[in-house]
A and B are shown apart, each in its own frame.
Chain A
């Protein structure tokens, strides 16, 4: 069964460093999403992407964040200068028509 994959599973970085989180959505899906979940808190929407551009973004998705689909398969989330409060689980999701399917997540730890 096709699934969304994410790499790495765990990333540790120092405050101020740039990180790139990678996702491979399910092929033939058209809509792509990033969410984050801070430990013990609810899943929060960051950004959605369709037709090679951002469709919607939340207040969390400020200028420190960017997304890209550099080729036909990868979908990336970049955080330019990480802060301690960026520590969270980051989930990628993709969708063809209706429901969103989530990847296993990348745990980002900023020290």
Chain B
């Protein structure tokens, strides 16, 4: 059974701090790892990672995948209150294009002003 474990489960920091969120996984036939941000409702897509060691970056957010050690990190620098959300890590196995994602429980990030 595919498994995704995120840590920490919750994190409270002050505005301006840098945070690192962790995601480890066990999955047969790994295809990709995705990060989503969930505020009130729908998860919104952040990154998709398929190759080890290649950093993906979008503004203050960045992410990298280690396929040997089976984990990924999501970094957020110079955090703002608008970054407060649940960050979800999900993995996809390569049974075919229509495979469902296996999600972790998420990291609940709170940014205090």
Interface set of A (CB-CB < 8 Å, partner B)? 4, 30-31, 33, 35, 41-50, 55-56, 58, 89, 91, 95, 98-105
Distance to closest chain A CB from B10 (angstroms): 12
Q: Which residue of B lies closest to A54 (CB)?
A: B98
CB-based contact B32/A98 at 8 Å: yes
What chain B residues lie within 8 Å of A55 (beta carbons)? 96, 98-99
Distance to closest chain B CB from A9 (angstroms): 9
User: B100 is contacted by which of A33, A42, A89, A99 (Cβ under 8 Å)?
Assistant: A33
CB-based contact A99/B43 at 8 Å: no
What chain B residues lie within 8 Å of A41 (beta carbons)? 105
User: B104 is contacted by which of A30, A35, A42, A104 (Cβ under 8 Å)?
Assistant: A42
Besides A43-B103, A102-B43, 14 other A-B contacts (C-beta < 8 A) = A4-B42, A31-B97, A35-B100, A42-B88, A42-B104, A43-B88, A48-B98, A48-B99, A50-B98, A91-B43, A98-B48, A99-B34, A101-B45, A104-B42
CB-based contact A56/B98 at 8 Å: yes
CB-based contact A91/B106 at 8 Å: no
Q: Known interface pairs A101-B45, A102-B43. Does A45 touch B102 (Cβ–Cβ under 8 Å)? A: yes
Q: Is B52 an interface residue (CB 8 A)?
A: no
Pull 12 A–B residue pairs with CB atoms less than 8 Å apart, ordered by A. Answer: A33-B100, A42-B104, A43-B88, A45-B100, A45-B101, A47-B100, A49-B98, A56-B98, A89-B41, A91-B43, A98-B32, A100-B101
